[in-house]
Amino acid sequence: MNKAKKTGYQFGTFKGVFTPSILTILGVIMYLRFGWVIGNVGLIKTLIIVTISSLITFFTALSVSALATNMKVKGGGAYYIISRSLGIEIGAAIGLPLFLAQALGVSFYITGFAESITQIVPTLEIKEVGIIVLIVLFVIAFKSADLALKAQYLILVLIVSSLVSFFMGTGGNIVPISPDTIVPEKERFWPVFAVFFPAVTGILSGLSMSGDLKNPEKAIPWGTLASVASSYAIYMAIPVFFVQIVRDSRIFLVDSMIMYKVAKWGQFILAGLWGAALSSAISSLLSAPRTLQAIARDGIIFRFIGRGFGKNHEPRIAILLSFLIALAGILAGSLNIIASVLTMFFLTAYGLLNLSAGFGKLIGSPSWRPTFKVHWGLSFAGAFGCFAAMFMISPGATFIAIFISSAVYILMKRRGLKARWGDMKYGIVMLMVQFGLYKLAGGKPDEITWRPNILVLSGAPTSRWYLIKFAHAISHGYGLLTVASILPEKHVSGQRSEDMERTISNYLKERKVQALVKIYPADDLMSGVSSLIKGYGFGPVEPNTVLLGETEEEKNVLPFVGLIKMVYENKRNVVIVNEGQPPRSIKKDRHIDVWWSQKGNNAGLILALAHLLNTSPLWQKSKIKMKTIIFSEGDRIDTENGLRSFIEQGRLDAEVEVILGDEQTLFYTIKNQSRDADFVFIGLRPPAPEETVGEYSKYYSNLVQKTSGVPPTAYVLASEDINFQKIFSSFS
What is the CATH topology of the domain spanning 446-549?
A: Rossmann fold (3.40.50)
Under a CB-based contact definition with an 8 Å cutoff, are residues 124 and 261 in contact? no
Q: For the chain, give every domain's residue range.
A: 13-172+183-415, 446-549, 578-732
Can you give the pLDDT at residue 235? 95
Q: Contact at 8 Å (CB) between 333 and 127?
A: yes
Helix/strand/coil for 481? strand
Q: Is the pLDDT of residue 308 over 90?
A: no
For residue 647, give the nearest of 620, 676, 623 by alpha carbon: 623
DSSP H helical ranges for 13-77:
13, 19-25, 28-32, 34-68
Does 550 score more than 70 pLDDT? Answer: yes
Q: With 60 as the cut, is the pLDDT of residue 530 above it?
A: yes
What does the pLDDT average to over 353-365? 81
Q: Give the pLDDT mean for 293-314.
A: 82
Secondary structure letter of residue 455 according to DSSP: E
Give the helix/strand (H/E) hosting 127: helix 126-143
Higher pLDDT, 634 or 182: 634
> How far does CA 585 lie from the centroid of its chain?
41
Q: What is the 3-state secondary structure (H, E, C) of 511-564?
A: CCCCCEEEEEEECCHHHHHHHHHHHCCECCECCCEEEEECCCCHHHHHHHHHHH
pLDDT in tens, 435-483: 777 777 766 666 666 788 899 988 777 778 889 888 898 888 678 898 8
Output the pLDDT for position 145: 61
Q: What is the CATH number of domain 13-172+183-415?
A: 1.20.1740.10
Helix (H, G, I), strand (E, B) or coil at 214: coil
pLDDT of residue 335: 47
pLDDT digits (tens, 9 = 90+) for 173-223: 887 777 777 778 888 888 888 888 888 877 876 666 566 677 777 788 888
Taking residues 31-58, what's their average pLDDT?
Answer: 92
Buried b (16+ CB within 10 A) or exposed e, 575-595: bbbbbbeeeeeeeeebbbbbb
Count of CB atoms situated within 10 Å of the CB of 442: 7
Q: How confident is the model at residue 324 (pLDDT cuts 50, 70, 90)?
A: very high
Determine the Cα–Cα distance for residues 82 and 409; give it in Å rounded to an integer: 13
Average pLDDT over residues 375-398: 88
Question: Does residue 378 register a pLDDT over 90?
Answer: yes
pLDDT of 418 > 80? The answer is no
Are the C-beta atoms of residues 316 and 141 closer than 8 Å to each other? no
CATH class of 578-732: alpha beta
pLDDT at 547: 92
- Domain 446-549 matches domain 578-732 at the CATH topology level: yes
Phi-psi region of 171 (alpha: psi -120 to 50; beta: other; left: phi over 0): left
Regarding pTM above 0.85, the answer is: no
pLDDT of residue 445: 62
437-441, 550-554, 631-635, 653-657: lowest mean pLDDT where?
437-441
With a pLDDT cut of 90, the percent of the chain lying above it is 11
Largest CA distance in the chain: 112
Contacts of residue 103, defined as CB under 8 A and 6 or more positions apart, other chains included, come to: 284, 288, 321, 322, 325, 326, 329
Please, which residues have CB within 8 angstroms of residue 617's CB and are 6 or more apart in sequence? none
Mean pLDDT, rounded, for 360-371: 76
Lowest mean pLDDT among 55-69, 100-114, 440-454: 440-454
Confidence of residue 661 (pLDDT cuts 50, 70, 90): confident
- Give, for 623, the enclosing helix (H) or strand (E): strand 623-630
pLDDT mean across residues, the chain: 81
What confidence score (pLDDT) does residue 339 get?
62
Query: Residue 731 has what pLDDT?
Result: 43
Residue 585, pLDDT above cutoff 50: no
Strand locations in 435-505, DSSP E?
453-457, 480-488
Q: What angle do CA 650, 655, 659 make, to 5 degrees?
A: 120
Q: Give residue 434's pLDDT.
A: 76
Q: Which residue has the higher pLDDT, 679 or 362?
A: 679
Say if CB 233 and CB 167 are below 8 A apart.
no
Express each pLDDT in 123-146 by its tens digit. 888 888 989 999 988 888 777 666
Model confidence band, residue 725 (pLDDT cutoffs 50, 70, 90): low
Task: With beta carbons less than 8 A apart as the criterion, state whether 493 and 518 touch.
Answer: no
> Among residues 573, 368, 587, 584, which one has the least CA distance to residue 455?
573
Higher pLDDT: 112 or 581? It is 112
CB-hemisphere CA count at 13 Å for 253? Answer: 17
Beta-carbon contacts of residue 352 (< 8 Å; ≥ 6 apart): 82, 86, 90, 94, 383
Rounded-to-integer distance, Cα 287 and Cα 326, Å: 13
User: pLDDT value at position 730?
Assistant: 46
Secondary structure (DSSP) of 683-718: EPPPPPTT--HHHHHHHHHHHHHHTTTSSSEEEEE-
Average pLDDT over residues 15-43: 85
Identify whether the C-beta of residue 210 lies closer than 8 Å to the C-beta of residue 289. Answer: no
